[in-house]
Amino acid sequence: MPYAHTLEGNPHWLPLNPRSSLKAIPGERGWPIVGNTFEVLKDPLAFTKKMVAKHGTVYRNNSFGGDSVVLLGPDANELVLFDKDKNFSSEQGWGPVLNLVFPRGLMLMDFEKHRADRKALSVAFKPEPMKHYADELNAGVAAQVGDWANKPINFYSAIKALTLDLAATSFLGVPLGDEAAKINQAFVDEVQASVSPIRTPLPGTSMRKGVKAREYLVEFFTREIPARRNGTGQDFFSQFCRTTDENGVPLPADAIVDHMNFLMMAAHDTITSSATSLVMLLGRNVEWQEKLRAEVAELGSNDGSVPYGQLDRLVLTEYAFKESLRLMPPVPSIPRRALRDFSFGGYDIPAGTFVGVNTAYTHHMPEHWPDPKRFDPMRFSPEASKGRHRFAWVPFGGGAHMCIGLHFATMQIRILMAQLLSRYRIELAPGAGEDWQIFPIPKPKDGLPVTFVPV
Ligand code: HEM
């Protein structure tokens, strides 16, 4: 999403290419100024299919403020995401969208600096802290879903609120209450700002609100860091305060603040979106609800909670989650910027080009996913997965920037499903979830009205 003006504050970025640099790539620029933005927003998958039919699986598109080259299919995903030749910048791909509110997060870093910081942060994803988060998640989910019986629930809003509350304890180590509520609101404002079409923080805009929210969070984190460095907290924030780089030096305070901000953003709407699509798909495929409920019952827990050591037994739950991520990936496309000239699919593409791979399109390619619209979790059994291209399923990306929170997300979904399905049958309201807004992160336009009927 190449917003030209963001190059200004980043002298180390490549300059913008003239439009003529892409004239050899087939494609179209759409309407003056807005290009194809509205068509992309309306139905991204349909738009991509239309472009493929006209131009093939490498094409030029003009949307969200500039030209980019879209590269489709598992080989394209591997080239760009695995990036064995270090040709593609994540910072310059995501930066135009995220730099104002989430600067210097992991996805906004490249190569050696990225590797070093990712290694330092990885302490918080090791088994010991994961066990602690599992306990927190079990308690937090149980405390809320118990109240969901027999009443109409807007699932998207309910799971968003629950995920934010869970983040207050697991991510921040802050008990629920006024402060947690203020922090949660600040995150919501930041995320809103990051996708706002007005990129200048003018009074009254969501960008201004987001910038203010960031100031509040920076102040909160900075104030807390000294105590967390000396404490024993197991939450992400405390772990980042105590971690060190390869030379034993703790992360500086401003880096902790930036990583925390980014991590919360990366975790929050993605989990909300994927939990919502899974509940919708289980609501529509009652036989799968039954299978998952039986699997949970086999654990023999009387309150639906799943200890960390038992999570791997929820195999069908994991397949169903993977299938929902295939059908409705929370990150539908992934941007990069080429740092060097490269070739793909018979085209030469110059350095400086904004490129995008498309998760959602790959996940619907019939040559990799027969009958692609059908919900069939057994696609992920070891037998069915044999021989599949390893970049045909990329909801968490791949390569150096592959989602660092993927095991956390899978754990939260397993715990949520165990707690929900051991208590309730999912009943969707008629027509629930028929229409989704896909960008920036998919959500059902009706919020997915649902009733949880005690079993
Ligand atoms: C279903 C839930 C999730 C999905 C689908 C998802 C998806 C993704 C994707 C596609 C990327 C790679 C983007 C790229 O290559 O440009 C990514 C990166 C990232 N994710 Fe997730 N994510 C999820 C949950 C989480 C959670 C729970 C956390 C934190 C606990 C998290 C933290 C991050 C971070 C920090 C990165 C940047 C990694 C890096 O650049 O090295 N994500 N995620």
Tens digit of each residue's pLDDT (9 = 90 or more) over 99-108? 888 899 999 9
Q: Is residue 236 part of a domain?
A: no
pLDDT at residue 109, rounded to an integer = 97
Q: Is the pLDDT of residue 4 over 60?
A: no
> Which ligand 1 atom sits closest to the C-alpha of 359?
10
> In angstroms, what is the span from residue 403 Cα to ligand 1's centroid?
4
pLDDT at residue 193, rounded to an integer = 84
Compute the C-alpha angle 265/271/277, nearest 5°: 140
Q: Is residue 55 part of a domain?
A: yes
pTM: 0.96
DSSP 363-429: TT-TTTSSSTTS--GGGGSHHHHTT--TTS--TT--GGGS-TTHHHHHHHHHHHHHHHHHHEEEEEP
Gap between the terminal Cα atoms of the chain:
47
- Parallel/antiparallel/unpaired status of strands 27-28 and 58-63: parallel
Task: Find all residues with CB under 8 Å of 5, minimum gap 6, and list them.
Answer: 199
Tokens of 426: 């999912």
pLDDT confidence band for 1 (50 / 70 / 90)? very low
> In angstroms, what is the span from residue 267 Cα to ligand 1's centroid?
7
pLDDT at residue 99, rounded to an integer = 87
> Which ligand 1 atom sits closest to the C-alpha of 400?
41
Confirm or reject: Cβ of 401 under 6 Å from ligand 1.
Answer: yes
pLDDT at residue 440, rounded to an integer = 86
Q: Is residue 312 part of a domain?
A: no
pLDDT in tens, 411-437: 999 999 999 999 999 999 999 999 999
Q: Is the pLDDT of residue 7 over 90?
A: no
Q: Is the pLDDT of residue 6 over 80?
A: no
Average pLDDT over residues 272-291: 98
pLDDT confidence band for 5 (50 / 70 / 90)? low
User: For ligand 1, atom 6, which residue shows the shortest CA distance?
Assistant: 396
pLDDT at residue 240, rounded to an integer = 97
Q: Is residue 35 part of a domain?
A: yes
Cβ–Cβ < 8 Å for 171, 238: no
CA distance 79 to 357: 10
Encoded amino acid at 91, one letter: E
CA distance 96 to 64: 10
Q: Is residue 368 part of a domain?
A: yes
Q: Is the pLDDT of residue 351 over 50?
A: yes
pLDDT confidence band for 65 (50 / 70 / 90)? confident
Confirm or reject: Cβ of 397 under 6 Å from ligand 1.
Answer: yes
Residue 248, classed as helix, strand or coil, is: coil
Encoded amino acid at 54, one letter: K
User: For ligand 1, atom 40, which residue shows the shortest CA distance?
Assistant: 107
> In angstroms, what is the span from residue 261 Cα to ligand 1's centroid?
13
Q: Is residue 413 part of a domain?
A: no
Percent of the chain with pLDDT over 70: 98
Give, as one character, the DSSP assignment of residue 332: -
pLDDT at residue 399, rounded to an integer = 98
CA distance 181 to 172: 12
Q: Is residue 184 part of a domain?
A: no
pLDDT at residue 192, rounded to an integer = 84
pLDDT at residue 97, rounded to an integer = 84
Residue with tokens 């024993």: 232
CA distance 101 to 103: 6
Average pLDDT over residues 289-300: 96
pLDDT at residue 177, rounded to an integer = 86
User: For ligand 1, atom 22, which residue shows the shortest CA distance?
Assistant: 403
Task: Find all residues with CB under 8 Å of 434, minimum gap 6, and list them.
Answer: 446
CA distance 2 to 68: 7
Confirm or reject: Cβ of 271 under 6 Å from ligand 1.
Answer: yes
Best substitution site from 279, 357, 403 to test ligand 1's pocket, by max atoms within 8 Å of Cβ?
403
Cβ–Cβ < 8 Å for 356, 397: no
Q: Which domain holds residue 370?
A: 1-88+337-354+362-377
Average pLDDT over residues 250-262: 94
pLDDT at residue 2, rounded to an integer = 46
Confirm or reject: Cβ of 275 under 6 Å from ligand 1.
Answer: no
pLDDT at residue 26, rounded to an integer = 97
pLDDT in tens, 155-201: 999 999 999 999 989 999 998 889 999 998 998 898 888 777 777 88
The chain-wide mean pLDDT, for the chain, equals 94
Q: Is the pLDDT of residue 398 over 90?
A: yes
Confirm or reject: Cβ of 118 under 6 Å from ligand 1.
Answer: yes
Average pLDDT over residues 279-294: 98
Q: Is residue 1 part of a domain?
A: yes
Residue with tokens 């059994």: 381
Confirm or reject: Cβ of 212 under 6 Å from ligand 1.
Answer: no
CA of 144: how far to CAs of 137, 148, 166, in Å? 11, 7, 10
Q: How many structural domains are present in the chain?
A: 1
Q: Is the pLDDT of residue 63 over 50?
A: yes
